[in-house]
Every structure is written in structure tokens, then in C-alpha cells.
Amino acid sequence: MTKHAELDTPESRLASIAWDFEEARTNTGPHRIHPYPARFIPQIPRSLIELFHPGDDSAVLDPFCGSGTTLVEASFHGIPAVGIDLHPLAILISRVKTTPLKRSIRSAAESVVRKARNRIADGKYTIPEIPRLDHWFQKDVQVALASLIQEIDRVSDEDLANAMKVALSSIIVRVSNQDSDTRYAAVEKDLSKETVFNGFERAVSITGEAVERPNGDLFTAPARVHLVHRDIMDVEPEEVGEDVGLVITSPPYPNAYEYWLYHKYRMYWLGMDPIAVRDSEIGARPHYFKKNHQTEHDFERQMGRCFWLLRRVMRKGAHACFVVGRSIIHGREIDNEALLERAASSHGFKKVGSIQRNIARKRKSFNLSHGTINREGIVVFALRHR
């Protein structure tokens, strides 16, 4: 082994990057399309791809893909990508972010808004049955949202319809009575049907700038992106469908972020089931505050199942990069990095590097006990054998 090779270690590669990215723009291109809690900034997967992808045709896998940040960055590099998530909204957002549109979404949206207005004038709209709808949404807002969704559902181009659903979803919290994306409390707001229509058109414009051909921020010749809408605990190796050369992910660790709650009413309006998501979501707060509640050992077991899958789809010697912070469960601080390391070791992985980074203060969750979390780790594992 040469002296240069000895110096080229995962630890040295990690140390070559200033991981805080304090001055970086984190909300550009497809990453602007939809808010999502606790998503890592695009500079993290971008840097990890440049440091650890073997530079061949092997895929990047994110087994907890969320809103698709890793998938977008892999596609920007011309690398095939696979994303897994149990959240239907996460899969929808990821699909939209990685699918260039062949037709103008703005033109299609103009038609949808015009027909939605006519639907309201004719009284031909149906407001869906959603729990506590009147508490969270004013009547005029309900009417506008319902009419838009009914018209979007009539759009025959699936890619356009998906993109418009995501655009509408992105404004639902803003046009609700909810205080903000990270504060789950109802407040008085001055809202109207026009608030909804104008917000939808602005969101459509952002989406169009990012993913329309030929002038969008998305690539002109995108790499393959394969999405698996499944609970990671149930995914089988053949569902991944690609030879994986790198894994980049941030798992939903215990009692830290309430993904299902953050998107609860977005999912209701789009006809999805947030309660089913809550019941299966790894790390969701309700699992830790019930009789016979889960513990950090359940998280370790769940991560073990993840590494079981990774071992079967990754190349020998490939790297798996996890971004993870601490948890607080019933007043105890949990070292999730240590739990990950134990789970990984039991499935043929070795920890080969780790580094800490500071988290920007603007990243928040509904779980106020985590308001003081300001550090997270980037942990790199290597697959020793299959």
C-alpha cells in the first residue's frame, strides 16, 4: 500500500469537508419544491456522493428517502438512484422532484384554476370528510382546496397531475389555521379563496422553474430513479432493483421528529391516510408514550432490519453513510450512533468514519424537548462481506 493510499481513508475524506455549510444556499432547484421536516441540506448528500461513490454505474440508495434530497443530488451527478419510504406524500414529492415535465405545468394549472372557479360558482364541489376540518380550515379555504383537488384529479397527464398535487400540498399549512409548519396550534388568520388560488399559482411557478424541460433546473438527461413505497421493515432485496454502490440516508430516529404529524392535513387533503403512516413510522413519538411503549432497543432492531437489506443489495466494500443525531426518551439522552454501530456490526458492516456537524437553528420539530439539539453525526460504514 502506498503512503497516499494510507492517507486516503474514510476519516480523512470526511475531514476534508467543512460540514456546517454555514453560508451555503440550501433551497435551490428541485429542493425548493415542498417543505419537509428535518431533511438534510443538499450539500450533505452532494459531498458524500463526491467522496464515496465509486464513479461507475452503481446506484445510490436512500432507504428513508423523505422528500428525495439524496435522489435529486444523485440525479444531478448522472447516477441511478433508489428511494424507499412508507410515507405516500414523501414518495409523491420525490417522484415530482426527479421527473422532468415535458409540458408546461403553468399552462395546465391556469386551466385547473379556471375550472375550479367555475366549479365553485356552480356549486359543484365536494368537501371531503376530514377530522376537525372546521377547526383547522376556514370555509372559503375548504371550498377552494376541494375544487382545486377535484380538477387536478381530472388531469390526464399523470406527471403534471402529480406536480400540481405537490404544489397544492406545499401551501396547505400556510392556508390553514395552523400557526406554522413547525408549530401545531390554531391561530386567527385572514384567509380567502384567493389566498388559496394565488398560493397555488406561486407554488406551481416554483415547480415549473425546477422541473420543466428544457429550461428547468432539473437535468436534461436524468438518471434512473426507482421509488419503493414500502415500510423498510418489509422491503425485500429484489424490490431495490439496482446494484448499490453507495447508501446515503438519515433515519427517523426515536422520538425526534413527527413526520406524520407535520404532514397530517396535507395527507388528508390528498386522500392519503396519516394514521396508517403514524402507526408504522419508525421513531414516531406516540410509540414511546403508550403502555408497553417502545425503547431505543426497538430502534436498534429496526435499524438491524435496514442493515439486513443493505447487506443484500450493496457491493462488497461499498459505503453506507448515515446522518443521525441524539434522542431524548423519558428524560434520557440516547446515543443513536452507538445503536447504529451495533446494528450494523451484526450484519457485516464496520464503522470506518464519523464526524460531527452543527445543525442550523432553523431546523425545528413539533417535539419541543428537542429544541436544544444542535449537533448531529455523519457516520460511515463499510460492507465487509455479504
Q: Which residues contact 24 (CB under 8 A, 6 or more apart)?
A: 41, 43
How far CA 305 is from CA of 156, 312, 347, in Å, comes to 39, 11, 9
Q: What is the pLDDT of residue 2?
A: 39
Q: What is the pLDDT of residue 273?
A: 95
Contact 309, 235 (CB under 8 A): yes
Q: What is the pLDDT of residue 68?
A: 97
Q: What is the pLDDT of residue 4?
A: 41
Separation CA 59–CA 315 (nearest Å): 10
Give φ, ψ of 382 to 5 degrees.
Answer: -120, 140
Note the Cα 294 to chain centre separation in Å.
Answer: 24
Q: What is the pLDDT of residue 7?
A: 60
Q: Which of 69, 102, 109 is nearest to 203 (CA)?
A: 109
Q: Can you tell me which residue has the cell 439522552?
A: 333
> What is the enclosing helix (H) or strand (E) of 194?
helix 193-211
Give φ, ψ of 28 to 5 degrees.
Answer: -120, 160
Separation CA 247–CA 49 (nearest Å): 9
Q: What is the pLDDT of residue 365?
A: 46
Residue 257: DSSP 8-state: -
Q: What is the pLDDT of residue 132?
A: 96
Q: What is the pLDDT of residue 223?
A: 78
User: Which CATH architecture best describes the domain 3-87+221-383?
Assistant: 3-Layer(aba) Sandwich (3.40)
Contact 42, 33 (CB under 8 A): no
Task: List beta partners, residue 54.
Answer: none
Q: What is the pLDDT of residue 259?
A: 72
Stretches where the chain sits below pLDDT 50 are 1-5, 285, 288, 364-371
